Structure 1
């Protein structure tokens, strides 16, 4: 696979797609911009490492009238998680950590964690761990760690009270955040449920401790540079700033139809990310381009290697992209029915990715064994090994649950396959 960008490198017909049917993707998602739901977007579909469809539409900055272009840089948010998971598995392959290792072996404060049992956020009642939080719990989101923005449970409220909701307390680095999270009660005993939370951020700290490098240095040396991901980083500086997309969120009122793209989306005050941040969040801190992330996804599709750069062994990628929930459980029964960057029905979870188990249960056409994740600004990607397909969707609207995007994109991609 020799993927250098997002420009089309193969005809739809040669990739097994009907070109006319692929236009339905544009036809549908242009409406999201025209009626104000999204500022702009970028969609890339590849097969067997060749780009068969690539399109952009709308603006990367509405106020400055700047178009979304093929090299636009955006906040990836939780699409950082698969990269952090790969980083951890690089260390696993080197024998520097094991999946059953207690997290406290690398971050001692987690050896004193408590688990919420009952009570209010003012006076929660906790109990001790029945077993340690382990590395595989972080990779599978079964650690008991949560997010403050869930607004569903006492442990979420405790995270907000401590200053963790959509951001972190000012001045805290990753090590300090981990120690603060370790002092907050877990939502459940590790390994007993699935809950989307700061697990991957903690995993990023493990990578730092084990490697002796900061997370950005490890990413650059072991993943980003070998794959040629030159525009991916925790910050955007210099001449790249002109390509950086603005972050938006929906206005609470107003009918956008017929009123232009700015009617239903407003600029969200966000960190400028013009310098290295204090906290390097492996769970959601990276910025990058479609071309870069496509190279990462093609490395996964190619089972750990791209253009001669071997990031992981082939069997390691296979192992990461199988369902690791205990007993082969589905998220629908094992996960808490809260927000996550995936739907739950027919889905399992691997080491850093959601795993499609049954498309009939999922109620969206697809392939068993496909793996995926998305980001809070409505970005998403998936890899389908059976069909050799990679799909990438970038935009900048927070939160990702605002409008239906991912399931519709999936049905529009697969309906275009005709081989």
Structure 2
């Protein structure tokens, strides 16, 4: 689809009419100019209209928030980026590494150095997804740790999760290669152990409450379930792209969307494993508050400091080598990686802006800040992505935000 629309409302309405999603909420803000659009419905089959405070499973745009929480621990002097994490995660005290990325999981060597906090923040600890999902050391991440789309009620508790992780070899030596996702889940466990508090409680104290993120958490309270959207994936024969039918209904067959999770489903009670990689529920305004904090280098709206300026600068700076960026191309084409999010390092597409920082969520979400222009851009949909490539509605939204 070639977009010829000029407004954010037209952009969303066009994609909804084409059948790519039931609804969406989008926000683009630059300085005092804020544009927010709620379009479509919160679900199928005559659901309530989408609203500005609708709640979404935000998936991987959780990652920058958990990285920020880790930096508060650095500022408190409880851990340093160069510190080996085994002091708090003894399960990772003696990691093994597959001899080559293609080696079977029992062909291993010892890690040449400890895993550090910086390795986790930059996704270079050796755990995670490469561009080739068929490698033997990747399979246990899905089978044992339930890596992939968030499933909060099916995961192990953090200690049991770490015990399973300790039996899985690294794909690369610590620091050598960028791998997606798993490091954020490890980081969530690390934050809880260093802080000596459950991850949900620590995030609430240090991030959500200071920023007024009143609707963000790892589950939805009963009183808010009426604002919680349903989650869908493309049905059999469909890929979630433009032109797919919206027929088929909730859980129905055909090419229409299939229900993945209802409001009273997996996020309606506290999870066994609060996923630092993708477990949060939030709203556009809550992520906007987080984005404003990044743009002011750590201040909330009242002028109180949530993060040090240097912490924010480290978060939104690319830390990868050119070789590491090239190897991660399936996920980060034209981008490097900061702490918990990608950083635009080249103009490879109309939406790229040098220094743009943020990420996408597999449940159909995306959030970025553009320091060069003072822009925050958040798009929340409830249609799962079919793979690492961003769907057309995201690409159109990014292009709109880049020119806002």
TM-score normalised to structure 2 length? 0.88
Equivalent residue, structure 2, for 1:11: none
Unmatched runs of 5 consecutive residues or more in structure 2: 250-254
Equivalent residue, structure 1, for 2:232: 248
CA distance in 1 between counterparts of 2:169 and 2:93 reads 12
Equivalent residue for 1:315, pick from 300, 310, 315: 310
> How big is the shift at 1:125?
0.7
Equivalent residue, structure 1, for 2:63: 81
Q: 1:98 to 1:47 in 2, by over 3 A?
A: same
Equivalent residue, structure 2, for 1:283: 277
CA distance in 2 between counterparts of 1:149 and 1:61 reads 33
Matches within 5 A, 1:175-190: 175-190=159-174
> How big is the shift at 1:352?
1.8
Q: 1:149 to 1:281 in 2, by over 3 A?
A: farther
CA distance in 1 between counterparts of 2:324 and 2:12 reads 28
Q: 1:365 to 1:273 in 2, by over 3 A?
A: closer
Matches within 5 A, 1:259-338: 259-260=245-246, 264-269=256-261, 271-308=265-302, 309-326=304-321, 329=322, 332-333=325-326, 335-338=327-330
SS at match of 2:339: coil
Equivalent residue, structure 2, for 1:134: 116
SS at match of 2:169: coil
TM-score normalised to structure 1 length? 0.85
Q: 1:169 to 1:190 in 2, by over 3 A?
A: farther
Tell me if 1:351 matches 2:339.
Answer: yes
Check conservation: 2:125, 2:183, Cα contact below 8 A: yes
CA distance in 2 between counterparts of 1:81 and 1:211 reads 18
Tell me if 1:96 matches 2:82.
Answer: no
Q: 1:133 to 1:259 in 2, by over 3 A?
A: closer
Equivalent residue for 2:140, pick from 148, 155, 158: 158
Runs of 4+ in structure 1 deviating by more than 6 angstroms, as ranges, are 119-122
Length, aligned pairs only: 386
Unmatched runs of 5 consecutive residues or more in structure 1: 1-20
Superposition RMSD on alpha carbons, in Å?
2.5
> How big is the shift at 1:165?
3.9
Matches within 5 A, 1:12-23: 23=6
Equivalent residue for 1:379, pick from 351, 354, 365: 365
> How big is the shift at 1:291?
1.1
CA distance in 1 between counterparts of 2:346 and 2:217 reads 35
CA distance in 2 between counterparts of 1:140 and 1:321 reads 11
